[in-house]
Amino acid sequence: MKPTFFILRQLGLAFLLTVVAFPAACAPGNKTKIVKWQEEVKLSTGEVIVVERETRFKGGGDPFQGAADTMTIRFRYPPDAKEVIEWRTIRHASSGGGNYRHPETPLVLDVEQGAKSLYLITRSGGHGCDEYFRYRHENGSWHDDMLPEIFETRPTNLLIGSDIIDTPSTVSLELKQKKNGTRDNTRYDIRFLQVGPDRCLCGHIGNSNKGGCVQKYNTKKE
């Protein structure tokens, strides 16, 4: 029979190896997980820029266990500009009547071809209806720039799901198309794969009865 102290030493070594091999299992439940990546984005001007993206997950050490809380996008435009432009989650929406408030999902980053002004379109929940929100970058800051009620659809050009990122390398245009999927092969609703044609995702397209919208919805088409 092995001496007692020898058995205890073996048990102690086994515990130490368990802690080293599985640190996440011992991590606090409120640990914040930060996922970062670079992503190619093709603008309507034909330019391809690389943006830095970051998603913070709360409530777990693993993004599949935690909940997304804040999304950040950083980039330069024009690409040779010295200033770094940053956008960070502005709106949150409640989910399923629980305490979790999920951040808006950035879908389109682009520039108006004539004015060269930057804008970002997101999707977020409102008072019962999801809506598209547009932000315009002007004089160094982002401003609400409400979309028309009905507008031309635009394909999403940003990666939709940051929980699928498992590498720090750059997400190419081709890889992003594969991850986002297509209308016939995706885990996302079509209104994530594109924005529009209706600003408020409640009821039928073109129906002006949008009582659940945060943004004022007029019957007059803009």
pLDDT one-digit tens code per residue, 132-189: 999 999 989 999 988 888 889 999 999 997 766 665 578 999 989 888 887 666 678 7
Domain annotation covers residue 216: no
Q: Which of 67, 68, 85, 63 is nearest to 76 (CA)?
A: 85
Based on the structure, what is the number of domains in the chain? 1
Domain annotation covers residue 220: no
Q: Which of 180, 199, 203, 178 is nearest to 190 (CA)?
A: 180
Bigger pLDDT: 16 or 48? 48
Q: What is the pLDDT of residue 60?
A: 52
Domain annotation covers residue 166: yes
Scored b (16 or more CB within 10 A) or e, 86-123 reads ebebebebeeeeeeeebbbbbbbbbbeeeeeebbbbbb
Q: Confidence band (pLDDT; 50, 70, 90) for 20?
A: very low
Q: Confidence band (pLDDT; 50, 70, 90) for 216?
A: low
Domain annotation covers residue 219: no
Bigger pLDDT: 18 or 153? 153
Domain annotation covers residue 23: no
> Is 80 exceeded by the pLDDT of residue 55?
yes
> Is 60 exceeded by the pLDDT of residue 41?
yes
> Is 90 exceeded by the pLDDT of residue 127?
no
Domain span at 152: 28-201
Q: What is the pLDDT of residue 24?
A: 36
Q: Give yes or no for a contact between 70 and 84, defined as CB atoms under 8 angstroms apart.
A: no
Domain annotation covers residue 10: no
For the whole model, what pTM was predicted?
A: 0.76
Bigger pLDDT: 39 or 184? 39
Q: What is the pLDDT of residues 89-124, one digit of tens each?
A: 988 876 555 555 678 899 999 998 777 789 999 998
Q: Which of 138, 141, 137, 126 is nearest to 199 (CA)?
A: 126
Domain annotation covers residue 3: no
Q: Give yes or no for a contact between 146 and 128, defined as CB atoms under 8 angstroms apart.
A: no
Domain annotation covers residue 15: no
